[in-house]
Amino acid sequence: MARRLTAIGFDADDTLWHNEQFFRMTQARFAELLADHADPDHLDERLLAAERRNLGHYGYGIKGFMLSMIETAIEVTEARVPASVIGEIIAAGQEMLRHPIELLPHAREAVEAASDAGFRVVLITKGDLLDQERKLAQSGLGELFDGVEIVSEKTPDIYARIFSRHGSGPEQAMMVGNSMKSDVLPAIAAGGWGVHVPHDLAWELEHADPPGDRTRFRELAHLGELPALLQQFL
Amino acid sequence: MARRLTAIGFDADDTLWHNEQFFRMTQARFAELLADHADPDHLDERLLAAERRNLGHYGYGIKGFMLSMIETAIEVTEARVPASVIGEIIAAGQEMLRHPIELLPHAREAVEAASDAGFRVVLITKGDLLDQERKLAQSGLGELFDGVEIVSEKTPDIYARIFSRHGSGPEQAMMVGNSMKSDVLPAIAAGGWGVHVPHDLAWELEHADPPGDRTRFRELAHLGELPALLQQFL
């Protein structure tokens, strides 16, 4: 590991703070609301299909999730769902948009270690613009980041652009996140390092296999292991 | 006008391309769908109230507009709106997300003039991340911009940060847009120039009076007048 690093990117949702659990809770509430119309497994499947279908229009985030839930509710009930249930779905989504941030273990310590070691530290996240900003503000981690990039998709090109803007290019950058598909693989494809910190909950659309070439790939059990990894680059 | 400019910011919606007209058309369709339940004026009022109430959660853009329409439909019908109507509202919103871009007169010419004159040219827009990116890609203007900033709010701080990143600070920057409230006033408050190019349609929540101090304020009838204004800064 002779080559020096200049920038460390951190994913936000389910890397620094809990996120997927709020989607799961809301989805459970959704299943409850539609219990008379669809069994939960079938409903999950239809919702996932709607999310997949709508991703190109809505992008990532809670607002699109709300709209896909409403669409699915109409679909599975063949338009017999009462408006009051739609109202409850909206209320559940708005609840998500207000949920307080809970940092994951070692999140602050990991970001501080990267910052203290002199790396440019960048938050790189998908989702609704305002909602991601709110969560960052609430997290109390804002002042540790040199840059914040809320993007519509995490592609190799996007990583190359971000790490050129905030560091000295993707080859000298490391992306840390829970999504193999969005955080690890495209950062490695851009020429950088990809560090996977798995979270026990993952959205089905974020699934991917680890990279074949593991030269620039690392897997950590949790963020508490990041400071020691960064030491190797100093 | 001795002080040189280094950066020109352009607003997107209703400055470079049509936008508000699609909201108006959808709102007319919304009124049609709910014609049996509410008169159009009352409905507009309730929808505006919902948009205002939800702005802090949803931010700007079409997805939030869709959710506010659905909420309003439930509200004005006291939850008697049929699910099929909600389905139609979603369809109308998705239609908006697909609408083709129509450039406003002189849009390309104005951005090209700013770019050719050697200014750093930045697109600065609010709204849904993915939707704004889609529109920029479709506009064919993408390659003219040195930077693209999709933001959740247009405040003096945001302008200061953007014009420091892309130029030499807000004092040597000019923001061009159709919204007095979002484009002109905060850019001037940040220390820069604000150029108002009115559009005949404006969303009620974007209304504001012109600045009292007009030193750094200009008003243009259309973007075709921008090249001549920029000449004065060379």
Q: Do B83 and A87 touch (CB under 8 A)?
A: no
State how far the alpha carbon of A14 is from the alpha carbons of A17, A102, A105, A222, B226, in Å. 5, 10, 11, 11, 46
List beta partners, residue B126. Answer: B151
Is a pLDDT exceeding 80 seen at residue B129?
yes
Q: Residues 45 to 74 of A: which have CB under 8 A from any B CB?
A: 54, 57-59, 63-64, 66-67, 70-71, 73-74
According to the model, what pLDDT value does residue A72 have? Answer: 98
Continuous segment of H or E residues that includes residue A140: none
* Chain A CB within 8 Å of residue B80 CB: yes
According to the model, what pLDDT value does residue B3 have? Answer: 53
Taking all residues of chain B, what is their mean pLDDT, rounded to a whole number? 94
Q: How far is B20 from chain A (nearest CA, A)?
A: 19
Contacts of B59 in chain A (CB under 8 A): 128-131
* % of chain A exceeding 90 in pLDDT: 90
- Chain A's closest residue to B83, CA to CA, is A79
Question: Is the Cβ–Cβ distance between B43 and B76 less than 8 Å?
Answer: yes
* Chain B CB within 8 Å of residue A96 CB: no
According to the model, what pLDDT value does residue B1 have? Answer: 44
List beta partners, residue B175. Answer: B9, B194
Average pLDDT over residues A77-90: 97
Measured from the Cβ of residue B52, the count of other Cβ atoms closer than 10 Å reads 12
Is a pLDDT exceeding 80 seen at residue A161?
yes
Q: Do A84 and B84 touch (CB under 8 A)?
A: no
Of B54, B59, B81, the CB nearest to A83: B81
Of B64, B80, B97, the CB nearest to A83: B80
Is a pLDDT exceeding 60 seen at residue B142?
yes
Contacts of B125 in chain A (CB under 8 A): none
Question: Is the Cβ–Cβ distance between B178 and B196 less than 8 Å?
Answer: yes
According to the model, what pLDDT value does residue A206 have? Answer: 81
Alpha helices in chain A (DSSP H): 20-33, 40-58, 62-76, 83-98, 107-116, 129-139, 156-166, 185-189, 226-231
Question: Is the Cβ–Cβ distance between B199 and B20 less than 8 Å?
Answer: yes
pLDDT, one tens digit per residue, over B20-33 is 999 999 999 999 99
ipTM reported for the complex, 2 dp: 0.91
The DSSP string of A56-117 is: HHH-SSHHHHHHHHHHHHHHHTTT---HHHHHHHHHHHHHHHHPPP-BPTTHHHHHHHHHHT
Q: B87 or B129: whose pLDDT is higher?
A: B87
According to the model, what pLDDT value does residue A234 have? Answer: 86
pLDDT, one tens digit per residue, over B99-110 is 999 999 999 999
pLDDT band at A64 (very low <50, low <70, confident <90, very high): very high
Is a pLDDT exceeding 50 seen at residue A63?
yes
According to the model, what pLDDT value does residue B206 have? Answer: 81
pLDDT band at A3 (very low <50, low <70, confident <90, very high): low
pLDDT, one tens digit per residue, over A125-141 is 998 899 999 999 999 99
Q: Do A130 and B58 touch (CB under 8 A)?
A: yes
According to the model, what pLDDT value does residue A2 have? Answer: 44
Contacts of A33 in chain B (CB under 8 A): none
Question: Could you give the domains of chain B?
Answer: 7-18+102-231 (3.40.50.1000), 20-98 (1.10.150.240)
